[in-house]
């Protein structure tokens, strides 16, 4: 699979927008692809995946291979930085050169965002110190080790820093981000076009709602 470099048609009111999503081996697929699906429809947006060296990047489930043609170090600025999570966060937080790049890019973004354990990367880069932030429920203590204050909210915004909770929460964040980049009507139109109207069969989508046996089983999945 080749990583898409999507350019949506520009609306008459909106300049071009560069949106960058770093992908490292063992990334959580929905963390990246869910927001990509939403943000690629933002008028004027170009969504680009980047990595350490051009080549194949494998997801955390082991079956999805994405060809990413662009080095992150070749990107000097962007309007939106979106850091996905999954097992890849461990590589990112332990890579000083990548964290330096995140700090440099953040200095010029309109929004710096994360999904799931991607917030740990923002924390490791020093961008969440003293801020309320969210992440996957099973990584709350890790997030707080970087100086953030964990909240179980699905999406948390502090000016131009936006964090979202685990996996599917990235879609919620992307719809809100689409509204911030354009307007509410455009974001609602994207939500409608993608038919994002969640009606889950079970009410166990948060740690606060799930019974103990479900929490225990969920911890075996990561």
Q: Which long-range contacts (CB under 8 A, 24 or more apart) does 156-160 make?
A: 156/132, 158/131, 158/132, 158/133, 160/109, 160/110, 160/111, 160/112
Please state, in angstroms and rounded to a whole number, the distance separating the CA atoms of residues 161 and 171: 16
C-alpha–C-alpha distance, residues 132 and 128, integer Å: 8
Identified catalytic residue from 116, 124, 133, 175: 116
Please say if 78 is a catalytic residue.
Answer: no
Closest listed residue to residue 165, CA positions, set 36, 17, 50, 28 = 28
Contact present, 143 and 137 (Cβ < 8 Å): no
* Integer Cα distance of 178 and 37 in angstroms: 11
How far is it, in rounded angstroms, from Cα 71 to Cα 88?
Answer: 16
Q: Between helices 169-181 and 29-39, what is the axis angle to 10°?
A: 30
DSSP 84: -
Burial of 217 (0-12, 13-18, 19+ CB in 10 A): exposed
Catalytic residue numbers, as ranges: 116
């Amino acid at each position: 699979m080749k990583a898409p470099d999507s350019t949506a048609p520009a609306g008459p009111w909106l300049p071009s927008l560069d949106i960058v999503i770093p992908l490292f081996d063992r990334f959580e697929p929905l963390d990246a692809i869910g927001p990509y699906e939403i943000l690629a429809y933002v008028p004027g947006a170009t969504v680009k995946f980047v990595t350490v060296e051009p080549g194949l990047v494998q997801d955390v489930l082991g079956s999805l291979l994405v060809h990413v043609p662009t080095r992150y170090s070749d990107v000097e600025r962007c309007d939106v930085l979106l850091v996905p999570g999954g097992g890849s966060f461990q590589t990112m937080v332990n890579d000083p050169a990548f964290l330096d790049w995140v700090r440099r890019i953040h200095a010029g973004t309109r929004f710096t965002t994360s999904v799931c354990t991607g917030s740990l990367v923002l924390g490791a880069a020093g961008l969440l110190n003293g801020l309320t932030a969210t992440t996957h429920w099973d990584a709350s203590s890790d997030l707080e080790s970087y100086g953030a204050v964990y909240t179980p909210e699905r999406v948390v915004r502090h000016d131009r820093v936006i964090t979202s909770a685990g996996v599917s929460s990235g879609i919620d964040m992307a719809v809100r981000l689409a509204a911030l980049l354009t307007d509410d009507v455009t974001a609602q139109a994207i939500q409608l076009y993608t038919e994002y109207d969640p009606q889950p069969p079970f009410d166990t989508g948060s740690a606060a709602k799930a019974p103990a046996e479900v929490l225990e089983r969920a911890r075996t999945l990561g």
